[in-house]
Amino acid sequence: MTVSKQDFRDAMARLGAAVNIITTDGPGGRGGFTASAVCSVTDEPPTLLVCMNRNATAAPALKANGNVCVNVVAAGQKDTAMVFAGVTKCTMLERFEAGTWATLATGAPVLQGAVVSFDCKVVDVVEKGTHLVVFGEVQGIRAGSVHDHGLIYFGRDYHPVGKAATAG
């Protein structure tokens, strides 16, 4: 049985995943994109993986900089995620006008108000089909409020998730 590209995409639309803004900065310039293909690899050493289209405008900067920050988007940051997803047509530097940014250990931009941000040193990049699989060893973590709502991508749309904070 052969699975078509469209059948695979339609099936993957049924797999809910956290929305993340992936950022980088350094000698290759500032770059960023929205991704849902992020997961933990190991806790010794703490390592994540991020999948990105090898033709993404941020790919050359990410490869040259050797750092990446995985910013897990809060529900109230949906508009920022859409800017980084390319829904709003703007330059790479204009994308960073959405949101407020800081840095941690690697110099990659950290999104203020994110549910959590993982600041990583890129330790490996594997090419697979149309994508790059980027392995990042975590150098720093900034956690938001435990009461923040997250944002998932499911059914080709964004949806808030999480339990509202209760008083008392």
Answer yes or no: is 1 within a domain: no
Answer yes or no: is 7 within a domain: no
- 3-state SS assignment for residue 57: coil
Overall number of domains in the chain: 1
Range of the domain at 36: 18-161
pTM attached to this predicted model: 0.92
CATH number at 38 reads: 2.30.110.10
- For 72-120, how does the pLDDT look when each residue is reduced to its tens digit (9 = 90+)? 999 999 999 999 999 888 999 999 999 999 999 999 999 999 999 999 9
Answer yes or no: is 40 within a domain: yes
Q: How far is CA 50 from the centre of its chain?
A: 7
Answer yes or no: is 134 within a domain: yes
What is the residue-level pLDDT of the chain in tens, covering all 168 positions?
899 999 988 998 888 899 999 999 999 999 999 999 999 999 999 999 999 999 999 999 999 999 999 999 999 999 999 999 998 889 999 999 999 999 999 999 999 999 999 999 999 999 999 999 999 999 999 998 777 799 999 999 999 998 754 333
CA atoms in the 13 A half-sphere facing the CB of 55: 2
Answer yes or no: is 9 within a domain: no
Answer yes or no: is 140 within a domain: yes
